[in-house]
Structure 1
């Protein structure tokens, strides 16, 4: 039988926003957190949400759900090696993309634009809102939803950006943030005792697992989808294209020479696939390459962290994850490859612009037709909202909950008939 005590975690780490009656101790509180996420409707919806390429592109590419499962596997193993409770890291990884809207980052930008006057929109802040308010599981005595009511440790581990809009670590302003103004009370509760603007170790592991999975698997998808030939990386012009993509999308943390050196290291390590013909053998070789990259990045982060923090279990705020500069540059180069050959070319595609239009149209029309046009859960939230800003946030919650497929269907149902009636 399990006890409620967990090595490396305090009694406060096991607390929940709303106290719950004692349950069977056959599972730990952290195992219970993970089970709640696995069975959540928000996790299921990720199966029909864009990762990089849309879910309907082909049968091979990753959705948000398959990406999430891969992040959870990478994060769980790395966290376990460092001494984190594996279920805390697993829960954080399963939760990390729950708040992302239809059409991936494209939809996120559209919602950020329409929400700019009410505290913005950010996928990670929306994740916190889902975990603590929107996902139906636990309700308080006043009838208010408490979401999945996870433990403080699991909630804190899921917060990738533990600050508000236009705040950030070391006073740096950033458009990435983890909490909306009306979710501050639960945010302050889960951050009780935490150093300001610092992520716990489990959140840092989740963040690295996300970066590793994102960079490696997006390149794999691009190769299989015929959008990328890594053999081109031997050409100076193509290397320059990747370096420019990194600088444009991710900033100038590394110089062009450092990024070029990172590409050279990956090539010399035998981790570039120079030829891919789509055969079963080629697919196996590509899978070996992706496994090698993941193992390389995790091993280097583990060894660097151990060198800095020593042996023994590492949890919460006892240590920081150390990612060597060369490793960070190599991960960023892979992100740059995906940007240069997949994401940047897509920016000007009519479909990509149409997706943002769908999101904006839905917010506008659902705001006009609320609460009748909203699902019952969101209609009730809209009725209880205190003012126009709060009502707009409810509409945005509704739109963000949709999948790529359902967003298109809702648009066809609510907007397209109006266009036909007006003669468009």
Structure 2
């Protein structure tokens, strides 16, 4: 169950609409946030408009992925006894911190921010939720000036959205990992969120969010790749192609001690299902069959996790730190194979690599241009933060925060304006 500590907010505030639960308020705040809306203009896997094909003109974005993740997570969480509004709020907000150009932009920003704490999309999400998204302001205890507390979500909602509950360099098993969930200057609110939580352990709702994220993007990236014509379904039967897929999966999507035979068995299990979209040709009947296959896959992955978790913990409500989500090894392999297929045939296409190279240049040059001209080019919110920053490190973090908020199109537009030869700027 959820006690007073779970529903506590960093800044106490009255409920303007009595009768709502604390987690219904959290969900509403995330849904109405500008940060969520901006995800509509941010790359998920394929950049919108990067191809002349009709389907490629409207691939999934970070927003559509977040909505699909939220639908999966809400139902899976409810089936296991979690508060559905809490899990949905976590799923909706888990990708808010991702910058323009997807993981490619994330890597470019991390390079720029290496001397001010680095960049990580999940740490940026916490920063948005607790500091940058303008919703609640309170007097500072030190200066009395009004400071933002972001959306001021409950402790449980912030914890549920935290996929990596440790700062940079503190991964519990891999200190060199680039994954972390909080920047150094956000540690006070992170420590408040994690008060009483076991070190490095994700709460149950965050585990549900994390698996729902995996399920949604593995299934839908595969669907988009097939629908766009990037993937020939017959290649999944060809041994050389299969070995390439397994090589992509091992180390990136499954542990390095996973054998290719395990992944081969996982792929064969999927191919043997009567609903698998064999012979996909883009016709209306084939599209309907593909859509049914995505539903079957989501159901398969979620029901397997639900059943295995219930077998381990019984039929009671599972919340916070009372349980661990159990996903059978075989099911994780099936999910990983789908990720690897999308990686191999969608993300590794030659034109995508050329586009990613150009995107990295845009981020690097935009960061340098803003640094040279700031506060020119910054939105009013970030201009004020830049002017009030205590030192160069803090000012650089403001520039990172601004770039991370841009959509793909906004980043390109500002880059063109700031880097155009003098006299040619619009």
Fold agreement, TM-score > 0.5: yes
Cα offset for 1:271?
4.9
1:32 is matched with 25
Counterpart residue number, 1:65: 63
- C-alpha spacing 1:85/1:246, structure 2 compared with 1 (3 Å): same
Please name the residue that 2:170 is paired with: 167
Secondary structure, counterpart of 1:169 in structure 2: coil
3-state SS of the aligned residue for 1:80? helix
8 A Cα contact 1:37 1:91, kept in partner: yes
1:396–1:273 distance in 2 versus 1, CA, 3 Å: same
With over 3 angstroms needed to count, the CA separation of the structure-2 counterparts of 1:108 and 1:371, relative to structure 1, is same
Asked whether 1:140 is paired with 2:138, we answer: yes
2:377/2:414 contact within 8 Å kept: no
Structure-1-length-normalised TM-score: 0.95
Whether the 8 Å contact between 2:48 and 2:58 is mirrored in structure 1 is: no
CA contact (8 A) 1:98 1:127 kept: yes
Identify which of 211, 230, 236 aligns with 1:233.
236
The corresponding residue for 1:337 is 341
Question: What is aligned with 2:10?
Answer: 17
Q: Is the 8 A contact 2:275 2:289 kept in 1?
A: no
Shift of 1:59: 4.1
- Cα separation, partners in 2 of 1:387 and 1:304, compared to 1, 3 Å: same
Aligned-partner Cα distance in 2 for 1:417–1:400: 25
Aligned residue runs from structure 1 range 268-287, under 5 A: 268-287=272-291
Q: RMSD across aligned C-alpha pairs, in angstroms?
A: 1.5
Q: How does 1:385-424 map to 2 (within 5 A)?
A: 385-418=389-422
SS in 1 for 2:148: coil
- The answer for unaligned runs of 5 or more in structure 1 is 1-7
Instruction: Identify which of 379, 384, 388 aligns with 2:383.
Output: 379
TM-score, reference length from structure 2:
0.94
Aligned residue among 90, 93, 101 for 2:91? 93
- Offset at 1:344? 2.3
**Separation (CA, whole Å) in 2 of partners of 1:412 and 1:339:** 30
Number of residue pairs aligned between Structure 1 and Structure 2: 414
- The structure 1 residue matched to 2:49, chosen from 52, 56, 59, is 56
Kept after mapping to 2: 8 A contact 1:231/1:273: no
Deviation at 1:229, TM superposition (A): 1.6
TM-fit CA distance, 1:254: 1.6
Give the secondary structure class of the aligned counterpart of 1:394.
Answer: helix
The question of whether the paired residues in 1 share the 8 Å contact of 2:248 and 2:340 is answered with yes
Is 1:363 aligned to residue 361 of structure 2? no
The alpha-carbon deviation at position 202 of structure 1 amounts to: 0.4
Residue number in structure 2 paired with 1:245: 248
The alignment status of 1:43 with 2:36, answered yes or no, reads yes
SS at match of 1:140: strand
Q: Secondary structure at the match of 1:163?
A: coil
5 Å-filtered alignment, 1:67-86, equals 67-86=65-84
> 1:4 maps to what in 2?
none
Q: 1: distance between equivalents of 2:353 and 2:83?
A: 44
2: CA distance, partners of 1:347 / 1:154: 39
Instruction: Note if contact 1:84-1:315 (Cα within 8 Å) is conserved in structure 2.
Output: yes
* Paired residue secondary structure (2:250): helix
3-state SS in 1 of match to 2:146 = coil
TM-fit CA distance, 1:419: 10
* Equivalent position of 2:192 in the other structure: 189
Greater shift in the superposed pair: 247-256 or 314-323:
247-256
C-alpha deviation, 1:346, in angstroms: 4.6
Change (3 A) 1:344 1:249: farther
1:361-411 alpha-carbon deviations (Å, 9 max, x no partner) = 111110111112211000011011111011000001000100011111111
Where 1:113 maps in the other structure, the secondary structure is: helix
Q: Distance in 1 between matches of 2:288 and 2:185?
A: 49
Q: Residues 298 and 190 (structure 1 numbering): CA distance in 2 closer, same or farther, change over 3 Å?
A: same
Matches of 2:331 and 2:352 in 1, distance apart?
32
Q: 1:99 to 1:347 in 2, by over 3 A?
A: farther
